[in-house]
Amino acid sequence: MQLVTEKSAAGNGLRERKKRATRAALVEAALRLAAEHGAENVTVETVSEAAGVSPRTFFNYFDTRDDVFVMIDAESSARVRRAVREAPAALPPLDVLRDALAAELAEVEDRHELWALRAEVLHRSPHLLARSLGAHLADELELADALAERLEPAAPAGHPETVAGDGRRTAPEPCGTREPGAPASHGAGQRETPDPCSAREDGGPASDLYPRLLAAVGGTAVRVAVEHWCARRDRLAFADVFRRTFDLLAAGLAQPPGASPD
């Protein structure tokens, strides 16, 4: 029985690696094509061909063409949330978040070129940039839920929302951008967009300020650490920059003595 379990685990691990490799290949192909030809000229067919898969396989990973540029990796996000929930109870929340995010950023030094390409593509495509920001905000809400559940295990998970397609949550629309009673915007295969002005009135776990702020700060810390390292990667290791970023947060962002640009 133990041997079967080990084989099963190995098989699951292999399948997981293959799935992650296929998804990464599709993202890389899309970004390179968009950087060369413009995102508006990239099709599912050209991305799939460049990645060596079929268009049908593309849609196993992304609902629409735009998603390959802007959507959060749902499996990576789920691993972060699971790590947050399963971390030792004695660890401070900020340390838990740091460790969970660090595990997903282990390959960032090998993929800095793609990070730069993605920034270039989004800068040149305002509608993709808007959708990317929306996807990150939606992911942030999910992370806030996980942090809140960790802090208050008895609290109910999630919050009411209308679900469509594959159940992914999209970004909250800024307060005041939708008339009262008007339907929230949503795209193919996405959840209806929650309104942050009312999304937590039910008292769900992320209604508290602390988990919302912690999730937002964590996402910003990752972005700043990556950008800072990309500009100095000939002198600094990403792991050192990431650790330093969270050390500054843990210190309450007090200005360190003799602070320097590095």
Range from 200-209, 239-248, 249-258 carrying the lowest mean pLDDT: 200-209
pLDDT band at 248 (very low <50, low <70, confident <90, very high): very high
Domains of the chain: 1-61 (1.10.10.60), 69-177+186-250 (1.10.357.10)
Q: Identify the pLDDT of residue 237.
A: 87
- Sequence-separated (6 or more) residues with CB below 8 Å from residue 66: 127, 128, 131
pLDDT band at 179 (very low <50, low <70, confident <90, very high): very low
Taking the model in full, what pTM does it have? 0.69
- Sequence-separated (6 or more) residues with CB below 8 Å from residue 34: 42, 69, 117, 121, 125
- Does 158 score more than 50 pLDDT? no
What's the burial of 224, exposed, middle or buried (CB within 10 Å: 0-12/13-18/19+)?
A: middle
Instruction: Give the residue-averaged pLDDT of 230-242.
Output: 85
Q: How far apart are CA 144 and CA 84, in angstroms?
A: 10
Amino acid of residue 182 = A
Q: How far apart are CA 47 and CA 66, in angstroms?
A: 11
What are the tens digits of pLDDT across the range 30-69?
999 999 999 999 999 999 999 999 999 999 999 999 999 9
Q: How far apart are CA 216 and CA 221, in angstroms?
A: 9
Q: How far apart are CA 110 and CA 165, in angstroms?
A: 34
Q: How many residues does the chain have?
A: 262
CA Rg value for the chain: 20
Q: Identify the pLDDT of residue 111.
A: 73
What are the tens digits of pLDDT across the range 134-153?
888 999 999 999 999 988 75
Q: How many CB atoms lie within 10 A of CB 139?
A: 24
- Does 12 score more than 80 pLDDT? no
- Does 229 score more than 60 pLDDT? yes
Query: Between these two residues, 98 and 188, which has the higher pLDDT value?
Result: 98
Instruction: Give the residue-averaged pLDDT of 158-177.
Output: 43
Q: Identify the pLDDT of residue 260.
A: 60
Q: Identify the pLDDT of residue 163.
A: 37
- Does 84 score more than 90 pLDDT? yes
Q: Identify the pLDDT of residue 73.
A: 72
Query: Between these two residues, 49 and 259, which has the higher pLDDT value?
Result: 49
Instruction: Give the residue-averaged pLDDT of 80-92.
Output: 93
Amino acid of residue 150 = R
Q: How far apart are CA 38 and CA 61, in angstroms?
A: 22
pLDDT band at 207 (very low <50, low <70, confident <90, very high): low
pLDDT band at 164 (very low <50, low <70, confident <90, very high): very low
Q: Identify the pLDDT of residue 162.
A: 36
